[in-house]
Amino acid sequence: MKNPKNQRGVAAVELAILIVPLLVLTFGVTEFGRAIYQYNILAKATRDATRFLSAQGPGDPGDVAAAQCLAVYGNRDCTGTVLVPSLTTAMVNVCDSLGCPGTHQNQATGSGVINLVTVTITGYPFTSLVPFVVPNITFGPISTTMRQVL
């Protein structure tokens, strides 16, 4: 058995060697978790806005603006704070039977025709708090499509 005096400080040296990879791993996991959390909020926002529009008749510009506010602020009045930082109504695109008639109007199904409505959030920039571990990214289009009342 070695002399215990020769082993002094070994734990401190091991910690010094492992602290950098452990910190990078910790920050990477937390930032990846934040990115998934924000993506999930955006997906739910498109779902809520699409669900609202699916119950409305096609073509009302007030409904489109309300759906954009619903996707960004969580309410139809465009009041309060945004659901996620840097999200604007300009990033929210609404496609219904009047806005996109070729793809959303009178779509044939096995039991007749339906109108569709799609809400898409494009170009949302995720800003990392630790960019040297997880870089800033821009999410791809996040969209939800539902059947709209005729």
- Percent of the chain's residues with pLDDT above 90: 63
Q: How many CB atoms lie within 10 A of CB 124?
A: 21
Q: Indicate the domain borders of the chain.
A: 7-148
Question: pTM, whole model, 2 decimals?
Answer: 0.86
Q: Are 72 and 82 in contact (CB under 8 A)?
A: yes
CB 67 within 8 A of CB 52: yes
pLDDT band at 1 (very low <50, low <70, confident <90, very high): low
Predicted confidence (pLDDT) at residue 99 exceeds the cutoff of 70 = yes
Whole-angstrom distance, CA of residue 102 vs CA of residue 96: 10
Out of 36-40, 94-98, 116-120, pick the least confident: 94-98
3-state secondary structure of 60: coil
- Give the model's confidence band at 11: pLDDT under 50 very low, under 70 low, under 90 confident, else very high: confident
pLDDT tens digits, one per residue of 43-60: 999 999 999 999 988 777
